[in-house]
Amino acid sequence: MNILLDKFETPFETTPFDKVKNSDFLPALKEAIDIAKKDIANLKNNSEKPTFNNVCEALEVIGKEVNKVGGVFFNLHSAESDDELQNLAKEFSPMMTDFYNDISLDTDLFNKVNEIYEQKDSLNLTQEEMMLLTKQYKSFTRNGANLNDKDKTKLREISKELSSLSLEFGDNVLGETKRYIKVIDDESLLSGLPEGIKEAAAMIAKEKGHEGKWAITLEYPSYVPATTYLDNRDLREELYRAFTSKASKGDDLDNQEIIKKIACLRHEKARLLGYSSHAEFVLEERMAEKPEKVEDFLKDLLEKAKPVAINEVEELKKFANETDGLDPKDFMPWDYSYYAEKLKLKKFNLDDEILKPYFKLENVIDGVFTVASKLYGLKFMQRRDIPVYHKDVMAFEVLDENDRHVSVFYADFFPREGKRAGAWMTSYRDQHLEGNSDVRPHVSIVCNFTKPTETKPSLLTFNEVTTLFHEFGHALHGMLSKVKYESLSGTSVYWDFVELPSQILENWAYEKECLDLFAKHYETNEKIPAEYIQRLKDSSNFHEGRATLRQISFALLDLSWHSGDPSKIKEVSKYEKEAMKNSEVLPAIDEAIMSCSFSHIFQGGYSAGYYSYKWAEVLDADAFEAFKEKGIFNKEVATSFHDNVLSKGGSSHPMELYKNFRGKEPTPEALLRRAGLV
């Protein structure tokens, strides 16, 4: 049997990354699909009366080998890809799509599930069993089981093409990011850049074969500090234009036609399934329910945030004029971060360079582990005997307060070629029950943080600190799951609820009681001064109006692509600017086309769902007030959040889970108060 299908003879049956080769994936997938097809035939040919057990529970475990192989493949495709893996994906991905279509379009399978569903009220099912049945029934009806044969064939073709286009989109963004490098041989051009960032730029140049020079790339840890600190305005402009025009330059990596095709195919698929738009299809299975509700939510936030954002930008233009004589009429997007950082320093005597020495990566990791220990009694033991897919990846065993195994946790922090940008949480195995045995999860977080240099460890910006807390919050959701069925486990919840566990954890990073646990100077070991923490809190709302507006603009762009018929879109640039114009407070740049690298919606599953971040902020601000009322490490509140949210996965409707924790539905007031928008 293929190594990917054998029982893994590793600690906790973790993936044997040290033994898996690219050539193992296709044979493993083919074999896994054959196993699943036999199981499907057995289920369909079972002559016994259909029951919840012999239909729904049997269907739940069909394809587990396919999921296992696919999970390893696509996680590596995102975090440790190479040309061979990218080419493999072109064959691998359509095979996966075909397999899932074979299930969702199988009339005989659907008829068996439908028979159970029609008698669901008389079956005395538990809440979780009812959720599984409902999810399976909707999975069939929402994926074409009721279509005629001609439309089923059409749906298959669309799904397959969407799968390939999504991969091509991601490959182009990664290719463009890898291709761009700005090599600098005149050190005076780096004026304003902090020493640590300059050293990192020298290290990048050396890695790319330009020893003795400096280099800036479009990777976040390189690009963001450059556009924040470089005094040279022309250089900031060049970098900004390169970054915002990613995959839209009319060359071999251009995504403009690809995203138009993706949007059109999604619309066609939704219409085929009986929905007026892709957004209507997606939002049926979200807390928000309808596009109109999302639109109202975003417009309400826009109304409150825009006047604040306009005032913030006007103040910044005035500051730039007073500081450097920059005419307010000439203020451009590449000036924003540069002057915002300077104004923040002037107002609060605080910037990332002051804070970074207190946020050594290893200390921040200890910090999130300590938070998890104080809230949920968890312990993290690094295990060097667990195989990893890259030398930078760390593996931990997670234990509870009684030293019982909870989870395996992987952490992958630094950018490299073959790894996509951004930060995300994923899993290699989800928690579920097999008989009476609780199969514990293997969870991973992947980030792109500032790498250590020859003279300095990895020192995080405060934004990177909150990113780590955010992704670790997702990881806790996966690690602490305690449900019966894998498809309802951990983060398998409505997408506008999935950000609650991640976003709520960010709140701890602003609290003195939490920062005192880990924020220590990397050289002197002194605790972060109380005045810095106060300044951090005071500055937490700095330009919150503009930040809120930015998120709203992305959500509106997403909704615009997916709420109507996109077949009439001719020029992506013109269309995007029209969709975002009401939320813009800085001049639009002709060649800047955000959609072409908007991986969240064209590759990452957030299509018609980007609003989820702001939606979940309403939940997290309201939920964190429960902790603030009784203490941020209060065991009673933490236990309630664990029992009602983190451990429950998707076993109940998210609003029920939330009300069980909070005792009431959330309101936006807590978010507006926290953001300083009221």
Task: Give catalytic residues, as residue numbers.
Answer: 471
Name residue, tokens 């923490």. Answer: 533
Joined tokens for residue 337: 């971060």
**Residue 635: CB partners within 8 Å, gap ≥ 6?**
none
Q: How would you class 319 by CB atoms within 10 Å of its CB: exposed for 0-12, middle for 13-18, buried for 19 or more?
A: middle
Residues in the chain: 678
Instruction: Report CA dihedral (333, 336, 338, 341) to the nearest 10 degrees.
Output: -160
Q: Are 268 and 158 in contact (CB under 8 A)?
A: yes
Q: Residue 381 corresponds to which amino acid?
A: M
DSSP-assigned letters across all residues of 43-87 = HHH--SPP-IIIIIIHHHHTTHHHHHHHHHHHHHHHHS--HHHHH
State the first-to-last Cα distance of the chain, in angstroms, to the nearest integer. Answer: 62
**C-alpha distances out from residue 443 to 344, 361, 362, 489, Å:** 37, 19, 19, 12
3-state secondary structure of 493: coil
Query: In 42-66, which positions are buried (b, 16+ CB within 10 angstroms) versus exposed (e)?
Result: ebeeeeeebebeebbebbbbbbbbb
220-233 per-residue burial string, b: 16 or more CB within 10 A, e: under 16: bbbbbbbbbbbebe
Contact 130, 122 (CB under 8 A): no
Check if the beta carbon of residue 585 is closer than 8 Å to that of residue 308: no
**Identity of residue 394:** M
Which residue, among 363, 324, 77, has the nearest Cα to 191 in the 3D structure?
A: 324
For residue 209, what are the contacts with CB-CB under 8 A and spacing of at least 6? Answer: none
Question: Rg of the chain's alpha carbons, rounded to an integer?
Answer: 25
CA–CA gap between residue 608 and residue 288 (Å, rounded): 11
Nearest CA-CA partner of 500 in 623, 594, 589? 623
DSSP string, 429-450: E--EEETTEEEPPEEEEE--PP
